[in-house]
A = this chain, B = another copy of it.
Amino acid sequence: MAPATIGNSEFDRDTALSPRERGGYDVHLATGWTVFGTVNGGYLLALLGRALGDSLPHPDPFTVTAHYLSASRPGPAVIRTAPVRTGRSLSRGQASLFQTAADGTETERIRVLAAYGELDGLTDDVRTTAEPPYLPPYDRCRGLRHLDRAAVPVPEIVDRLDYRLDPATAGWLAGRPSGRGEIRAWYALADGRDADPLSLLMAVDSLPPTAFELGLTGTVPTVELTAHIRRRPAPGLLRIVKSSRNLAGGYMEEDAEVWDSRDRLVAQSRQLARPQT
């Protein structure tokens, strides 16, 4: 079987757009990208990101903010986009994802505000002072796909991804969370498709939450997430490091950094989340 490529992969098929005649896009929220039945926020962000890239004059996400209004369920959805302002190097746009109830009423699930540009048009100067995370070798990191599903509940999305957690951030798997709000992992798509700016939108929000290493065990719904895509990622494994430092008052922030195989900091995000325990 030929390896998956950008444009021909599970991720591309499950984030495909069907333009409607009168504007907007029909999409299908695939069951494979869920976390115990709820559609994953990163997958939704990537889907909305694809719609915006298709509809705006500039192709690549630069900064994307999503407000998650209510949980999306697998099945049909509609994305509507609108341009906000077009400049020479950046276009601003807005997008919403809707789902229709049995009685025909439409509910807005997510609203996005974004700036798009051309990543390949950026200059090559790099003065990044952040340093890539240290992770143990891939083979010594912990994946979830091999776990006995009868013993450990594993989200459906795990089979779409190939991530391996730094054991130092995987204590929660054995009921021994470290108490530090950190998750570090190697990350790729299960079918081998390389990363691209759209899959980066998913990468920032498709790993286990840092909350698990803080000893929280319930769901951690995202209120808002803002992602900056700073460079087209090189082929090969990504490294993702997430951290939370301000769990207080029933809310927490979670920061993510995504590093590519050439040690470039290709994406950064921060979300505000509301842990349910």
Contacts and interface: CB of A to CB of B under 8 A. Distances in A.
Interface of A: 62-63, 65, 67, 69-70, 84-85, 90, 92, 94, 108, 111, 113, 115, 122-130, 180-181, 214, 223-224, 226, 228, 230-231, 245-251, 253, 264-265, 268, 270, 272
Contacts of A85: 69-70, 108
Contacts of A63: 223-224, 272
A277 to B, nearest CB: 12
A128 B84 contact: no
How many chain copies does the complex carry? 2
A129 B245 contact: yes
A126 B231 contact: no
B249 A230 contact: yes
A231 B249 CA distance: 8
A133 B62 CA distance: 30
Nearest to A66: B113
A126 B265 contact: no
Contacts of A224: 63, 65, 115, 226
Contacts of A265: 245-246, 248
A108 B84 CA distance: 9
A248 B128 contact: yes
Given A90-B223, A128-B245, 4 more contacts: A92-B111, A128-B248, A226-B270, A231-B249
A65 B84 CA distance: 15
B223 A115 contact: yes
Contacts of A90: 223
Task: Give the top 6 A-B pairs by smallest Cβ distance, nearest first.
Answer: A122-B249, A130-B245, A127-B247, A65-B65, A63-B224, A226-B226
A125 B215 CA distance: 15
Contact of A113 (B67, B124, B247, B251): B67
A122 B129 CA distance: 36
Best-surrounded residue of A63, A224, A249 (most CB of chain B within 10 A): A249
Contacts of A249: 122-126, 230-231
A142 to B, nearest CB: 23
A246 B67 CA distance: 25
A129 B211 CA distance: 13
A90 B251 CA distance: 12
Contacts of A129: 180-181, 245-247
A115 B67 CA distance: 8
Best-surrounded residue of A128, A228, A248 (most CB of chain B within 10 A): A248
A264 B245 CA distance: 12
A262 to B, nearest CB: 12
